[in-house]
Structure formats: structure tokens, C-alpha cells
């Protein structure tokens, strides 16, 4: 019995302890599983969970035919861990091959563009990181990766590539080394191109290995849109070739050429020389990195005259048969001032076409001053002068056009033939677009649209058209401008066989601080085919050395216009220009 | 708590049976084996996923290399240089046919490189030109092997054109 009681007591104590333990553990269990469950789970997740930014790819910029002008590519920084540098053993075809550090360095140096000593000195040390080369291309990266050297590793970066180099470089702009857009369309349309970075979270084990199926995308990635330009890169290249040639031949400061599709107002080419290669903007001076077509204004000179003749015809002051007396010097009734022509001549009797053909300042003044000053101011504004275009290109200039009420007596007259105001090449080209498009000026279009990969349109330009002069005035004006190319001393060189071309030369003296220098901006702006205008081409050459006449501006005009007509398969003209008076006696010269 | 005294016979009856122990242990082993199998499958798939992802990345890199090369070869600068090298000049005058009226517009005139006044060789900078990769060499070798052409001269990827200081792409 005694033994029985002893066992029974021991069993009792054991059972009691067991129960106590179960209760204690139970409390702990409830505490962990119920009371603090959320807190503990969160703490655990925080230790496992990693958040990662998924970088959105910057969109492409493409031309009107889909040719890529700017795209995102990946580049690689190649790094090494000098601490681990040593011979590498690899198993090749069942044989262990050992490569010494020198072997690897000899193979690596030419790939990285380093000399051997430089590379070896970088690999020497006790650190875990040293950069060997920055932003190497994918092919080099592949070759280095295939070398299978464990102490070499790489970081991938998105970089911008402009496969066509300086073709449209002045328009495209460029991005900095960190991907920030710094100029041009890259910057202006950054919202469309940049895209939205995404975010992803996933869980990883204690060893840092990602746990499969644990990733959750918390912010979906949205790649940048494609910017579709109206530029035709083949025509753009051609125009840039011509201008590069012109600038080097004439030793000019710069030259620009704009090609516009008359009926749509689309810019097919906006070429400049010098131009910038966006792959390497630092290779050219900062002044050449922007677009002078939009950013630089100049006194236009005589190319303005065909704008004035358009006003004269539209306002009904004169028609194509009316004439004025045009001496080589026209004395004015204030301050003993006079206006003179660029060459000495006996008194001419000039029609509007004659004024253009001989580029007579005096004749232009006689016709133009019959129009009310304020009305002329209004015309100039409607032609688009004095304000930047609707494109609002980066740093676009509005030129200089004072309100007509502020013109002094001389400016009142000189604006008729392009002095006392400044225009940008793009403004002048669109004023000619209005002349060519039956008197209706269209807003310029350079960006057709910005679209996402799934076809969503992020941006589409809103084009406004402005009636500047009547359709009949515009038609007669073009007929008058044709006489420049048919009979004009300089204009003749702009002739294109088989096509009717209308245009105007311009030679403007360049002033600095109010003093006219012996330097010029020479231009030719023209339209073809005159009977059914398709293209406006405007060429300006700034400060050609030793050239004071616009004869040097016609060959580039002719080459570019001819290329545009050929490129777009425009059939030659089948009609002759109308016989209207244009000679020095106010009479008709028959076509030859 | 109550304690019972049993006879030896009764105690034998209550002894756990060998069969049920074996069934229990086998069951346990089966569950573990199944879990292990599933784990191995998941791990295997994870490795495969990783390998495929790496392959996808490598292929994307190859696509990029080839696209860069095509863009370089197709750039107007390279084409202008190549055409110039071949002695080609642009003919500004075009001749058009109207097939409805059987009319010919313009007079066919041969292009004259001297009198054109338009540069034929490239004058427009492009530092993206000239990227070459082993792909071009490989594809040329393949093509020539297919055509049964001797490959002795194929260590060089192609003719490299130079105009001034601007590097040019290889071209055939």
C-alpha cells in the first residue's frame, strides 16, 4: 500500500506539472497566434520583404516613315573586386583549364579600351569594388560575360542612342548621362517620352534568395510613349548635307533650310549647319546645340517684299497691272532721308511683279505706303511675325516686331522691305506657307502625335488656321513671285527644269548694336509647283564671308526643292505662268 | 486520478500492435516523401525559371546588338558613304511617266558628279556609326558557307569605309 501511495503521488505531481506546462504553452500560443499575431507576422514579413523599382523605358522618337531617331539601349558598367582577383579555373571539355590573372587581363584590356598597365593597376588592391569601364556596349558586355571571370561583375544602365547621329539632331535635343533630358524635343515632350516607373515587392529567404511566386507588383510599369515626328529623315539628311557643304564653301556662320508641306503645314525638314550629334553633344560649341530655325531671329531683308506685295493685292491698293515710278533713290519728306535700291538705275516703271523681279526698295515703298500703317501691322501679325509659333519649341524666339503705332517714320517704310523687324526662319517659312496655301496660314506641325505601345494617343497637336489674305490675292501674288525666278538676275538661278517655281531672294545687312556691318544674311524662300503648291523651301545663310548677294542662297534652295519634288513624286508642271507685266517699263516680258 | 491493476494477459492485449506502428510510420514517411517531392519540383521549376529568365535577358541583349547594327548600317550617313565609295552620284533631275496618258515628263539626263555642287559623301556627323559585333561576322560566314564560297578572306567583317574623320559601318 505504501508503495502504491508513493507512485500515486509522484504521478500526481507529474500530471500537475504537465498540465501547468500545457497551460503555460497554451497562453504563449494564444499570445503569439491570436493576441500579437498581426504584429509578429508583419515583423517577419518586413524582414523577408524587399521592394524594387522597375525602371520604365524611355520611348522612341521616330520620323514620319517610322525610322527611329532616338531609342533607349542598355549599357553596362564593368566592375571588379580586386580583393578576389586571382587565377580562374574552369572546366572545359572535361579538362580543368587555369587562366592566370595576366591571361585574363590581356584578353580584357582591349575589350575595355584600357592599356594593360592601367588595367593591372586597377585590379591590384584589397577593395571589393573598382570600376573598370563605364557604359560599354552590349556586344562588349557579352564578350566579357562569356569570359566567366568570377571577380568581374557589371551594372546595367539605360542609355539613349541616336542611330542617325546629327540627322535632326538640332530638333531632337539630347539627354544627360543620368538620363535627364537637357534640350530640344527630348525635353519639351519629356512627359510623353519618360513613362512611369513601376514597383515590385517580393519575399526572400534568410540566404537572400527570392522566394518563388512571392512577387507582387504594387505599381505597374508604364513605358514611355513613341513621339512621331513629321520630319522625313531622308529629306532632312539631304538638306543637312547641302547646308554643310554650303557653310564650308562660303565660310558662313550658319545656314538653315525649312521644308514645309503646303497643304498640311507639316514640317518635312528643318535642317541646320552646323548641327549637333545628340550622341555626343559636347563635340560642338554650345551655340550649335540648339535650333537656330526656332531660336535665332534676323532682319529678313527683301524676302519680306513678297509678303508686302501680298498685302498690297489683298487690300486692293493695286492690282498686278498697276505701276509706280521707281527711281534708284526715293527722297522722303522728313529729315532729308531717302530710300535707295541696291543698284544704280534710271527711273523704272514697275508693277508689283517688277518690284519683286528687280527687288526694288523704292518701288516697294511706293506701293506699300498706300496701305494704312495699322492695317500693315495687323497683316504682319496675321502672317505670324512677332510671336513664337504654336510649336513653342524650347527657347523659341518670337522675333522683333514693334506695334505699328510705335514705328517711327523710317521704320514705317523699311518694314515694307524687311528692315526694322526681325524674324525667325520658321516664321518666315510659314508666312510663305500662307502665300502658297491660298492665303491661309496653318500652325506648324512638327510632332504628329505621341502614342503608347497599345495605341493610346497621349498627345495630338491642335492646328489652327488663319486667313491672312484672300485666295485671289494669294494666287496673283504667286504669279508675281514667279517672275523673280523667270527673269530676275539672281532669281533665275533658282529655276528648276520642268517646274514652275515662285520665290524671292533676300540680302539683309547684319547690324550689331545698331550699326550695320559689312556682313549679310542671304536667303531664298520659294514655292513649287507654283500652279499647285506642294512645298515651301526657305534657305537662310548667315554671314557668308565675302558674299553680299543672294545668288549663293539659290543653289541650296534649288537642290533641296528639287529633291523634295523628286522624293515625293510630284509631277512636273504642265502649264505656263501667266503673262503679267514685270519689266522696267511696266510691260510684259514674254516667257522664253 | 485512478490507477487500475491489470492481469498479464490484459496487458498484452493493450500493447500497441506492430502493424499499426508500421502503417503509421510508413504514412509519415510517405507524407514527408511527398512534401520533399513537391519541394524538389518547385525548386526545380524555380531554377528553370531562372535559367529561362537569364536566357531571355541574353537574347534581348543580342536583339539589341543586332538592332544597333542594323540602325548603324541603315543610317543615311553610312548609305551615303557606301554609295559614294561605289562612285554613285545623285541625279537631281527626275523623269516621270504618266501611265494613263503615256506621257513622259522631263528629259532623261545622266547625272554629272562634277557639276552638281552637292556633296555625295557624308558630311553629317554620327558617332553612333561603326558599331560592329561578332554577329555580322558569324552571319557572313554562314552565308558564304551556304553559298560554298571560300571563307579565307572573311576574317575581316567587310569593307570599312572612311570619309574624313567620321567612322563608318562595315558594309558589303
Task: Confirm if A358 and A346 have CB atoms less than 8 A apart.
Answer: no
The pLDDT score that the predictor gives to residue A430 is 97
Chain A's closest residue to B58, CA to CA, is A142
Return the pLDDT at A347: 93
Which of residues A520 and A216 earns the better pLDDT score?
A520
Pick the residue from chain B with its C-alpha nearest to A234: B76
Number of H helices, E strands in chain A: 18, 23
pLDDT of residue B117: 52
Look at residue A274 in the predicted model and tell me its pLDDT.
93
Residue B160 pLDDT class (50, 70, 90 cuts): very low
Residue among A137, A165, A572 whose CB faces B125 most closely = A165
Cell of A273: 549647319
CB pair distance less than 8 Å for B124 and A162: no
Interatomic CA distance for residues A385 and B4, integer angstroms: 116
Query: What domains are there in chain A, each with its CATH number?
Result: 53-80+113-229 (3.90.1310.10), 233-567 (3.40.710.10)
End-to-end CA distance of chain A: 148
The pLDDT value recorded for residue A213 is 67
Examine the pLDDT at A450 and tell me if it is beyond 70.
yes
B164: confidence class by pLDDT, cuts 50, 70, 90: very low
DSSP 8-class letter at A85: -
The answer to whether B40 contacts chain A (CB < 8 Å) is: no
A442 band by pLDDT with thresholds 50, 70 and 90: very high
pLDDT single digits (tens) A481-497: 999 999 988 888 899 98
Q: Distance between CA atoms of A76 and A159, rounded to whole angstroms? A: 9
Q: Does A163 contact B125 at a Cβ distance shorter than 8 Å? A: no
Q: What value of ipTM does the predicted structure carry?
A: 0.78
**Residue among B1, B61, B127 whose CB faces A279 most closely:** B127
Report which of residues A479 and B152 the model is more confident about: A479
More confident residue, B20 or A477: A477
Mutation target for A interface from B101, B123, B127, B166: give the one with most A CBs within 10 A. Answer: B123
Q: In this structure, what C-alpha cell is assigned to residue A235? A: 529629306
- Reported confidence tier of residue B43, pLDDT bands at 50, 70, 90: confident
Sorting pLDDT into bands at 50, 70 and 90, what band is B102? confident
Helix axes A233-250, B76-85, angle to 10 degrees: 70
Please state, rounded to an integer, the average pLDDT across all residues of chain A: 90
Query: A284: Cβ–Cβ under 8 A, 6 or more apart, which residues?
Result: A274, A275, A276, A277
pLDDT at B151: 39
Whole-model pTM: value is 0.82
Of B3, B124, B131, the CB nearest to A275: B124
Least trusted range by pLDDT, from A125-139, A210-224, A285-299, B20-34: A210-224
| Nearest-by-CA chain A residue for B2 | A8
Residue range A410-426: average pLDDT?
A: 94
Cis peptide before A421 (omega within 30 of 0): no
Is there a contact between B65 and A137 if contact means CB atoms under 8 Å apart?
yes
Q: How confident is the model at residue A414 (pLDDT cuts 50, 70, 90)?
A: very high
Per cent of chain A over pLDDT 90 is 62
Task: Find cell 554650345 and name the residue.
Answer: A286
Give the residue on B whose Cα is nearest the Cα of A214. Answer: B46
- Partner-chain residue, chosen from B68, B80, B96, that has the shortest CB–CB distance to A73: B68
* Banded pLDDT at B172 (limits 50, 70, 90): very low
Please tell me the least confidently modeled range out of A85-94, A491-500, B96-105, B141-150: B141-150
A240 with B123: Cβ contact below 8 A: yes
pLDDT per residue over A160-201, tens digit each? 999 999 999 999 999 988 889 999 999 999 999 998 888 888
B87: left (phi over 0), alpha (psi -120 to 50) or beta: left
Partner-chain contact B127 A280, CB within 8 Å: yes
Query: For chain A, what percent of residues have pLDDT higher than 70?
Result: 98
Whether B71 sits inside 8 A of A559 (CB atoms) is: no
Residues with Cβ within 8 Å of residue B151, at least 6 apart in sequence: B141, B144, B145
Amino acid at each position: 500500500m505504501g508503495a502504491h501511495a508513493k507512485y500515486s503521488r509522484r504521478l500526481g505531481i507529474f500530471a500537475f506539472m504537465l498540465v501547468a506546462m500545457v497551460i503555460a504553452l497554451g497562453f504563449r500560443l494564444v499570445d503569439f497566434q491570436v493576441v500579437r499575431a498581426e504584429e509578429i507576422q508583419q515583423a517577419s514579413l518586413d524582414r523577408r520583404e524587399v521592394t524594387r523599382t522597375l525602371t520604365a523605358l524611355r520611348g522612341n522618337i521616330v520620323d514620319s516613315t517610322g525610322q527611329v531617331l532616338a531609342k533607349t539601349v542598355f549599357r553596362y558598367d564593368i566592375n571588379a573586386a580586386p580583393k578576389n582577383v586571382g587565377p580562374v579555373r574552369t572546366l572545359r571539355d572535361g579538362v580543368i583549364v587555369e587562366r592566370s590573372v595576366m591571361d585574363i587581363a590581356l584578353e580584357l584590356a582591349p575589350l575595355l579600351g584600357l592599356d594593360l598597365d592601367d588595367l593591372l593597376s586597377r585590379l591590384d588592391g584589397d577593395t571589393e569594388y573598382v570600376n573598370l569601364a563605364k557604359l560599354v556596349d552590349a556586344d562588349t558586355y557579352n564578350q566579357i560575360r562569356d569570359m566567366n571571370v568570377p571577380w568581374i561583375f557589371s551594372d546595367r544602365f539605360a542609355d539613349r542612342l541616336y542611330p542617325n547621329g546629327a540627322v535632326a539632331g538640332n530638333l531632337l535635343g539630347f539627354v544627360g548621362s543620368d538620363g535627364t533630358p537637357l534640350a530640344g524635343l527630348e525635353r519639351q515632350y519629356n512627359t510623353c517620352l519618360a513613362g512611369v516607373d513601376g514597383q515590385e515587392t517580393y519575399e526572400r529567404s534568410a540566404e537572400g534568395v527570392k522566394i518563388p511566386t512571392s512577387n507582387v507588383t504594387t505599381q505597374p510599369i508604364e513605358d514611355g510613349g513613341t513621339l512621331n515626328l513629321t520630319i522625313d529623315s531622308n529629306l532632312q539628311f539631304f538638306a543637312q548635307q547641302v547646308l554643310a557643304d554650303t557653310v564650308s564653301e562660303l565660310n558662313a556662320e550658319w545656314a538653315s533650310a525649312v521644308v514645309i508641306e503646303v497643304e498640311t503645314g507639316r514640317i518635312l525638314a528643318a535642317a541646320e549647319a552646323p548641327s549637333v550629334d545628340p550622341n555626343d553633344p559636347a563635340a560642338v560649341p554650345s551655340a550649335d546645340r540648339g535650333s537656330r530655325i526656332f531660336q535665332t531671329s534676323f532682319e529678313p531683308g527683301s524676302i519680306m517684299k513678297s509678303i508686302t506685295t501680298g498685302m498690297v493685292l489683298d487690300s486692293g491698293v493695286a492690282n498686278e497691272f498697276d505701276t509706280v515710278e521707281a527711281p534708284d533713290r526715293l527722297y522722303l519728306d522728313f529729315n532729308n532721308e531717302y530710300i535707295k535700291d541696291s543698284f544704280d538705275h534710271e527711273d523704272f516703271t514697275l508693277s508689283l511683279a517688277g518690284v519683286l523681279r528687280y527687288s526694288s526698295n523704292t518701288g516697294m515703298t511706293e506701293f506699300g505706303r498706300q496701305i494704312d500703317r495699322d492695317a500693315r501691322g495687323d497683316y504682319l501679325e496675321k502672317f505670324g511675325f512677332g510671336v513664337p509659333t504654336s510649336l513653342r519649341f524650347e527657347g523659341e524666339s518670337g522675333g522683333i516686331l514693334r506695334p505699328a503705332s510705335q514705328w517711327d517714320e523710317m521704320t514705317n517704310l523699311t518694314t515694307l522691305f524687311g528692315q526694322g523687324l526681325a524674324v525667325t526662319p520658321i516664321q518666315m517659312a510659314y508666312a510663305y506657307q500662307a502665300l502658297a496655301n491660298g492665303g491661309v496660314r496653318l500652325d506648324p506641325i512638327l510632332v504628329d502625335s505621341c502614342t503608347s505601345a497599345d495605341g493610346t494617343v497621349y498627345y495630338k497637336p491642335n492646328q489652327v488656321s488663319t486667313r491672312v489674305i484672300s485666295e485671289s490675292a494669294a494666287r496673283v501674288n504667286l504669279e508675281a513671285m514667279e517672275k523673280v525666278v523667270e527673269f530676275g538676275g539672281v532669281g533665275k538661278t533658282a529655276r528648276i527644269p520642268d517646274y514652275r517655281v515662285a520665290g524671292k531672294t533676300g540680302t539683309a545687312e547684319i547690324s550689331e548694336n545698331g550699326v550695320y556691318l559689312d556682313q549679310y544674311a542671304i536667303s531664298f524662300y520659294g514655292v513649287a509647283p507654283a500652279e499647285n503648291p506642294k512645298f515651301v523651301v526657305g534657305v537662310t545663310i548667315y554671314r557668308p564671308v565675302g558674299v553680299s548677294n543672294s545668288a549663293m542662297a539659290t543653289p541650296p534652295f534649288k537642290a533641296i526643292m528639287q529633291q523634295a519634288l523628286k522624293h515625293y513624286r510630284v509631277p512636273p508642271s504642265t502649264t505656263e505662268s501667266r503673262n503679267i507685266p514685270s519689266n522696267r517699263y511696266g510691260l510684259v516680258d514674254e516667257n522664253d | 486520478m485512478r490507477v487500475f491493476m491489470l492481469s498479464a494477459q490484459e496487458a498484452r492485449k493493450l500493447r500497441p500492435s506492430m502493424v499499426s506502428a508500421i502503417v503509421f510510420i510508413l504514412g509519415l514517411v510517405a507524407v514527408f516523401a511527398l512534401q520533399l517531392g513537391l519541394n524538389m519540383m518547385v525548386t526545380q521549376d524555380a531554377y528553370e525559371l531562372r535559367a529561362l529568365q537569364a536566357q531571355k535577358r541574353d537574347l534581348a541583349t543580342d536583339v539589341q546588338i543586332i538592332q544597333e547594327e542594323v540602325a548603324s548600317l541603315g543610317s543615311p550617313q553610312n548609305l551615303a558613304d557606301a554609295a559614294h565609295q561605289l562612285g554613285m552620284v545623285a541625279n537631281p533631275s527626275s523623269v516621270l511617266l504618266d501611265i494613263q496618258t503615256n506621257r513622259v515628263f522631263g528629259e532623261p539626263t545622266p547625272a554629272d558628279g562634277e557639276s552638281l555642287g552637292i556633296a555625295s559623301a557624308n558630311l553629317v556627323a554620327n558617332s553612333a556609326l561603326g558599331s560592329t559585333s561578332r554577329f555580322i561576322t558569324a552571319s557572313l560566314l554562314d552565308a558564304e558557307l551556304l553559298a560554298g564560297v571560300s571563307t579565307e578572306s572573311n576574317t575581316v567583317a567587310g569593307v570599312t569605309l572612311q570619309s574624313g574623320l567620321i567612322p563608318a559601318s562595315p558594309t558589303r
